Amino acid sequence: MHITQLNRECLLHLFSFLDKNSRKSLAETCHQLLEVFQDPSLWCLLNFHSPAELKKNNFYLGPALKYLSICWYSERVKVCNIEDWMKNSFQKDFCNRHENTVSDFLLEVCNRCPNLLSLTLSGCGHITDDCILLLLKSCPNLKTLKLENCVRITDRTLEAVTLHGGSLQTLHVDFCRNITRTGLERVREKRPWVMLRAERSADMIPDHKPEKKSTLEKASRKLVQL
């Protein structure tokens, strides 16, 4: 029996055992298998291990997507985590190549995947508060949001959680150095039922230029004297 003689249910079951690359390769052999590849029910879970994987076109985004994870643990993540004002030209060029990759992908998720339940982002150094805000608005059923080592995330994301995270049950903001204790306390106050974790976040040094820090310190001393 040829594989194309199997019914759709059997083909979907067969595809479910394959990884994204294998599914794409099989789908390219004929129109019938391509239709199976594009069946939304096959894509309720997506895991990516680098921004480059988001451009491979070996997956399908649709309303069936419930669980999404983008975790980048490469040594190159350290370059993205360097404060912008400290990066040399080589490091800036490296970041420019993929600065909007994850953000653009999440924009597509906002447009196509309203039933998302869980999102994990790790090492995504270019993700901003605006991106998370839009996602919270577009995916009202989101129950789990885990952010790790996302250096551009600030208290604005925590504020967005209090305003638009009505379904949220779990929030992790680990190693996100630009959030504060004040922001965390506000989440605990407004969303006491949320399981909140912020490992090594509020105690870390936020991003700012040395001269900016000096200006803030002088202003603080002046207020104390007044």
Question: In terms of domains, do 92 and 183 share one?
Answer: yes
The reply to whether 217 falls in a domain is no
- The torsion angles phi and psi of 205, rounded to 5 degrees, stand at -85, 120
Cα(135)–Cα(160) distance, rounded to whole angstroms? 10
Cα(193)–Cα(168) distance, rounded to whole angstroms? 9
Confirm if 63 and 115 have CB atoms less than 8 A apart. yes
The letter for the amino acid at 94 is F
- The stretch 12-21 carries a mean pLDDT of 94
Confirm if 37 and 59 have CB atoms less than 8 A apart. no
pLDDT at 99 over 90: no
The reply to whether 171 falls in a domain is yes
Question: Using one digit for the tens of pLDDT, what is the confidence trace for 22-74?
Answer: 999 999 999 999 999 999 999 999 999 988 899 899 999 999 999 999 998 76
* Domain span holding position 188: 43-209
CATH number assigned to the domain comprising residue 70 = 3.80.10
pLDDT score for 51: 85
Question: In terms of domains, do 30 and 67 share one?
Answer: no
pLDDT at 212 over 90: no
Number of domains in the chain: 2
Question: In terms of domains, do 24 and 78 share one?
Answer: no
pLDDT at 213 over 60: no
pLDDT at 1 over 60: yes
Cα(125)–Cα(131) distance, rounded to whole angstroms? 12
The reply to whether 173 falls in a domain is yes
pTM (two decimals): 0.83
E strands present in 49-166: 67-71, 118-122, 144-148
